[in-house]
Structure 1
Amino acid sequence: MLRTDHEASAPHEALPRLSTLLEMEQLDSMNFRTRPPAREEARTFGGEVFAQAVVASCRTVPADRAIHSAHGHFLRAGDPAAPVHYRAAVVRDGRSFSVRTVEAVQHGRTVLLLTASFHVPEPGFSHQALLPDGPAPEQLPSARSAFAASHPVDRAWLEDLQQRRSLEFRFPEELPRLAARRGERRSPRQHVWLRTTDTLAQDRVTQTGALAYVSDALLLSTALAPHSGIMTEGGLSFASLDHTMWFHAPHRLDEWLLYEQESDWAGGGRALCQGRMYDLEGRLLATVAQEGLLRPST
């Protein structure tokens, strides 16, 4: 189980950039290793390990095949101060599809197990969900402006979140987190425009990894909205259990995308959340599903 996006943070000057996190040393055709920067975190962000495993899998297939799905199971908390060894294996190479498994290993133990599938693009039927109605990101105030009148704890959380993830956010409506601060409940859904503040290589693999990285941002917190809960306020146990992503279209993360998030169910100490990512033209880029541990601490 890996941490979500809401735990205590290190000083900003020690924070790695997204571009650094997506760089890995390739040991051979099926093995990769990260070079972790010095930082002070209790556990690794789940989106980081998921994204690195996706990147590793992409580097093992022919160039004519693009990833269309990735399914990750988080098994243990990662150590942010130690390198991660990604061991890929070939499951199948067919005429149109390839399948890989990737095992993320630290200290001799598996942190994440990923299965990824790749497809040679071909013509077929086409339809998609529609971009939700709402203002474009350029019509919205900056996230800092939107949080200007909020509690100092929430302003600090936002500042750290943007710095830590190398991201800029814009919010079409008030986040449920701010309503929860007033003791109010909200429906389990939220929307956020986001883009990276880092300079990323424009190759397909790097941009795919970046999209996988941001897919874990804020998602599990959606399930707390009906319960007036705040991740960082204590009294909660939470962690990502598994994470699935379907890739529909390529996207450059230095351009805005809308992340629509909702939670259809929570119970038994777990919550299920779903997400859809759209570009400015309304093209559906990816669909996401995550189950997480979410319960009051005992």
Structure 2
Amino acid sequence: MAEDEYRPLHTPEELVSGLVTLLDVEELDTDLYRGMKLPGGRGRVFGGQVIGQALQAAQRSAEGKDAHSLHAYFMRAGDDALPIVYRVVRDFDGKSFATRRVIATQNGQPILNMAASFQVAEDGLHHQDAFPADIPPPEELKSESELRVEASQHMPEEHRKRFLNWKSPIDVRPLHPRNWFSPTKRDPVTYSWIKALAPLGDDTAMHRAILAYASDMGLMATSMMPHGVNWMTPGMQTASLDHAMWFHEDFRADEWLLYAMDSPWAGHGRGMNRGSIFTRDGRLVASVAQEGLIRKREPRA
């Protein structure tokens, strides 16, 4: 689609269809894929997009096995106005497990390296953490979109339109809504219900890619909560440094999932964040860990 033909997506179905298209990488050659650019992109690539596309590229080469973990390092900020090329390296193929490496590049430079492991489904010993207590259902919480409308009433008119134009294919309903403009110090623990805005098909690989995409939403902010800052605080420099994810059980990304996040440590310009993702009936289906850059600089004049 030509740049001047881009039409913003608005309906839930359009937003989710756009996300599926974004993550459906194009095969250029054996183990070489291209992820499309974000339509209308004008800034830094969202880390979840690169992780989701890289995972999809790796999944294409591991037929008969399901992704159970990924470990990614961000090296450079990507440009969301450009496509991303993904090269898959088949490091190991065994009877039960397979390992892949993925190198994501733009303009000939790597922006992300990822290792992913795959396994043939099997039974085994089982235990899991308990579902968090006293969490209200998503129907009782406001969505991020509704919260943005409320917050926009307290911001200058020249910034309001851009703030409200934010549209996400993921419905996020936080238990503790963030304060974009004047955050206060609080414990580094937070919960959000998440799901795709519209129904998806039955491709389990796509459900994993979409959850990988969504797992980068709000996670790094957890490590900034005890300090009363966020990415909009003047002088704050933030970026994802690495991202790890483990898939434990099957799930659907178009059904409500509880994302429980906490931060055990921050220091030396970095913040450590952890996440546990549960289905509504209490199954722990994924775990996440991420370290992010949270550097406080003197604001520019």
TM-score range, shorter chain: 0.7 to 0.9
Give the corresponding residue for 1:41: 42
SS in 2 for 1:254: coil
1:152, CA displacement in angstroms? 3.5
Please identify, of 288-297 and 196-205, the stretch whose mean Cα deviation from structure 2 is larger. 196-205
What amino acid does structure 1 have at the position aligned with 2:8? Answer: E
**Residue type matched to 2:268 in 1?**
G
- 1:18 corresponds to 2:19: yes
CA distance, structure 2, for counterparts of residue 282 and residue 12 of structure 1: 39
1:37-186 correspondence runs (5 A): 37-63=38-64, 65-133=65-133, 134-145=135-146, 150=151, 152=153, 159=164, 163=167, 165-172=168-175, 174-175=176-177, 177-178=178-179, 181=181, 184-186=184-186
Which residue identity does 1:246 align to in structure 2?
W
Offset at 1:28?
Answer: 2.7
Q: Which string of whole-angstrom CA distances, capped at 9 and with x for unpartnered residues, describes residues 146-165 of structure 1?
A: 5665463689798555x1x3
Residue 29 of structure 1 pairs with residue 30 of structure 2: yes
Q: Are residues 12 and 169 of structure 1, via their aligned partners in 2, closer, same or farther at CA, if it must alter by over 3 Å?
A: farther
Write the distance in 1 (CA, Å) between the matches of 2:71 and 2:78: 18
Unaligned runs of 5+ in 2: 1-5
Q: Percent identity?
A: 37
SS at match of 2:56: helix
Q: Provide the secondary structure at the position in 2 that maps to 1:225.
A: helix
Between the aligned partners of 2:277 and 2:165, the Cα distance in structure 1 is: 23
* TM-align CA RMSD: 2.4
Residues 143 and 25 (structure 1 numbering): CA distance in 2 closer, same or farther, change over 3 Å?
A: closer
Distance 2:200 2:76 in 1: 29
The number of equivalent residue pairs is: 282
Q: Distance in 2 between matches of 1:156 and 1:258?
A: 30
Distance 1:54 1:208 in 2: 8
In the TM superposition, residue 35 of structure 1 has moved relative to its aligned partner by 2.5
CA distance in 2, matches of 1:27, 1:153: 48
Moved more, 242-251 or 134-143: 134-143
| CA–CA distance in structure 1, aligned partners of residues 272 and 290 of structure 2 | 6
TM-score if structure 2 supplies the norm length? Answer: 0.86
